[in-house]
Amino acid sequence: MSQDHNYDNYVEIYNKQGRQAAQEYVINECGLDYAAFQRKMRSETAFTFNRSTKKFELKSEEAHFMSLDELCGIKNSSSKPDSPASPRNSEFDDLIAELMRDRITELHKFIRLDKSSKQIVVYSKAIKDNGYFLSVV
């Protein structure tokens, strides 16, 4: 049974007859659990669910935004295998990230960004008390 053919049929049934009919199709024709079928469809096809129209459609060729997997740093299984030096690079990257977090935490004591009022609040007394000098450019 061709899985691609099943996905196309599923999308057609879902878009024309609704979710209930699509669930019945998956259970009766594909022999899969509905949730498992949806997971496979998300990972193996170019179909995406449009929440505003409540229908499935093909993903556009031009992706303007990063996918959730890309954003979270999840690597695809199709990428080339890690080299032996990769764990060392990973440890170094983790060290750099930790140092950056420490630095940002330190700066957060003195500077606050308020997005709602579009203000930057600088605690100059705290800066001077901790041995730093404030320069306004």
**Start-to-end C-alpha separation, the chain:** 68
Domain ranges of the chain: 3-58, 86-129
Q: Which two tokens stand for residue 112?
A: 């606050």
Q: pLDDT tens track of the chain, all 137 residues? A: 444 457 888 899 999 999 899 889 988 888 888 888 888 888 888 888 888 888 888 876 555 566 666 667 665 555 455 555 556 678 888 888 889 988 888 888 888 888 888 898 898 898 888 888 888 88
Q: Give the global pTM.
A: 0.42
Joined tokens for residue 52: 């505003």
The CA–CA distances, whole Å, from 37 to 22, 26, 113, 129 equal 11, 7, 45, 60
